[in-house]
Structure 1
């Protein structure tokens, strides 16, 4: 399943390069119209990130995200800056289908496990955005990708076993926005080590061959952002290839 991505800052659509807020590209596209276009092309879901929230640790684009969720016939998962259960409930009650938890999933797993128990596994997706460190290990970055975690990706995922966690989204930050292909080896290991968890891949898609390579892994979903904004191929092409 293809998840077209939308990153929001200051009320508009943007993309970052490798998670660098200083390497930002603004797109002259209305978020509601973009979402409606994705729905018309056949996408069942889309992925929206509140980048202001991710950077500053406080949700900033909630009103716009709910407007998008209620203006297009498409399911929405969204995250960025979420720190309180009330924020999750506001999004879910307002029309969002699944809330994506990033930094907090790493820094406060007990709280997130409580949310999983309270809201159910379908309401929560963990976003683990990783960098490969000098020792070869993949470690999640937190606070809008501005700080590394001491925990490895495998430490974090192992800690959630038995919690009811159903869905994860893993981004290789080093490939994000680069359009050089997804990290197939990383995703294969995740699927091998954690076969009961649905994996959504993210980062690096630049061609339809990259999409086909990821589809061959049969993940739960494939997130595509920059390649769609810049017209490398159409959403319909990605869905049908």
Structure 2
């Protein structure tokens, strides 16, 4: 499954380089038009990140995201700044298919486990955005990638086993927006260590060869953002390859 991505800031489409808010590319096309074109190309899902929400720790673009969910014809998963159950329920009740929980999944796992059971495992995706440490392990970052925690990726995932968690989204921050290829070795490891989890990959896709390499792993989904905005290939080609 290919998930074309929209990253939102100030109501517009942007992309960051390695998660750096100071290295931002703005795109003129409106988010709703991007979503409509993706639907026309044959996509089923859209991945939307509220980067303002991720940066400031509170959802800021819910109205726009709900509009996209209602008007695009796509199933939408979205995250960024989701800290309260009421905000999550507003998105889900507004037509969003599922929400993506990042920072809280690391800092407040018991709360997220409660949400998984309260809302259903098909409504929550745990997103872990990781840096590789000097010791070779990967460590999830929080607060819009501005802070890195002490727990390893495996420690965080181990804690969720048995909680009902179904889908996990893993981003290698060093690959994000770089277009040099995804961290296939990391995704192979996760697939082997956690075969019961549905893995969505994110970060690094810049060519159709990168897409094909990821598809060989048979992940639940592959998120593609910048490569589509910059016409490295078409969404139709990514879906078909």
Query: Would you call these one fold, judging by a TM-score over 0.5?
Result: yes
In the alignment, what sits opposite 1:150? 150
Q: How do 1:1-241 and structure 2 match up within 5 A?
A: 1-241=1-241
Q: Whole-Å Cα distance in 2 between the matches of residues 133 and 205 of structure 1?
A: 22
Q: Whole-Å Cα distance in 2 between the matches of residues 72 and 61 of structure 1?
A: 16
Q: Whole-Å Cα distance in 1 between the matches of residues 92 and 178 of structure 2?
A: 32
Deviations along 1:52-87, one digit per CA (max 9) or x if unpaired, are 000000100101000111111110000000001111
* TM-score (norm: length of structure 1): 1.00
Q: Whole-Å Cα distance in 1 between the matches of residues 170 and 14 of structure 2?
A: 20
Q: Whole-Å Cα distance in 1 between the matches of residues 4 and 19 of structure 2?
A: 17
Q: Whole-Å Cα distance in 2 between the matches of residues 36 and 158 of structure 1?
A: 38
**4+ aligned runs moved over 4 Å, structure 1:** none
Instruction: Report the aligned-residue RMSD.
Output: 0.4
Shift of 1:6: 0.2
Shift of 1:30: 0.7
* TM-score (norm: length of structure 2): 1.00
Q: Whole-Å Cα distance in 2 between the matches of residues 73 and 114 of structure 1?
A: 30
Structure 2 alignment gaps of length 5 or more: none
Q: Whole-Å Cα distance in 2 between the matches of residues 108 and 29 of structure 1?
A: 36
Deviations along 1:189-233, one digit per CA (max 9) or x if unpaired, are 100000000000000000000000000000000000000000000
Count of paired positions: 241
Structure 1 alignment gaps of length 5 or more: none
